[in-house]
Amino acid sequence: MTDSQKPRILMCPADYFGIEYEINPWMSVQKGTDPERSSAQWKALHQTLVDLGVEIDLMEPVKGLPDLVFTANAGLVYHDLFIPSRFRYKVRQGETPRFEEWARSRGFRIVELPAGENFEGAGDALFCGDALFAGYRFRSDVQSHQWIGERLGVEVLPMELIDPRFYHLDTCFCPLAPGVAVYYPGAFDEYGRSVILDRIPTLIEVRAEEAVFFSCNAVVVGSTVVLNQGAPKLTADLERLGYQTRALDLSEFIKSGGSAKCLTLRIDGEEAANWKSAATPS
């Protein structure tokens, strides 16, 4: 595998990760996190991805921005375009200039959303084949997804999230390849479930008891799926489809409402993206 063929992922070390506020049902300032454990868990994920042949681009952690570690929320990458997130909660809005600075330093063209629209990056926008599946309600606005679809010239399929525990799309939906995905039905309204069933021929349905271990919040590298521990049924289903799995302990990050996928941003596009052309929208 040459360097140009290597998957590329953005990560941010967990040096300043912790629970300093509460903006989702998982977070508890009183319970907090264990810095040593979270650092060790982050390093284990980083090493696992390196072992799988991933080229990791590291951001500098920033004190006072504990959720900068969740780089999936940086924005949306499409070819050489970067659409930075516009966070709903003020406590996370300081992350956007950092992510924009990183994107510019890597040669991405920055495309900003219209004022007043919320969008939280690859946390709520995931390609599966040609279509961009987009979650809205808790963090991102459906209008932002429609604007992105028009700007990029791609089909966008907005789906409403209804369970606040699964507040981002990547907590309950994971594309594996064009036409193949993992999802937790209970996170979506009836229309959202019908969109997934109609548009994705091969689906693995995650049980509720495993969904709460953020088993959908996985990183796909070729035929390997890296996910949190606690999902033996999903693991068996994945292996029946020919996937290998790497289960890690990411419990400290689940306390903040994130897991493997939240801790990564695919710089070369989502694993299951099927960009038809190397051309970039003007």
User: C-alpha distances in angstroms, 37 versus 31, 61, 274?
Assistant: 14, 17, 37
- Of how many residues is the chain composed? 282
Within 123-172, strands assigned E span 125-128, 131-136, 156-160
- Residue 183 pairs with which residues in a beta bridge? 173, 205
Whether the CB-CB separation of 38 and 15 falls below 8 Å is answered with no
The residues, ordered by sequence, that sit 6+ positions from 119 with a Cβ below 8 Å of its Cβ are: 76, 83, 85, 86, 113, 125, 140, 141, 144, 145, 148
Query: Which element (helix H / strand E) includes 84?
Result: strand 81-84
Beta bridge partners of 58: 11
Give the burial class of 201: count Cβ atoms within 10 A of its Cβ; 0-12 exposed, 13-18 middle, 19 or more buried.
Answer: exposed
Instruction: Just list the catalytic residues.
Output: 168, 262
The rounded distance, in Å, linking the Cα atoms of 276 and 129 is 9
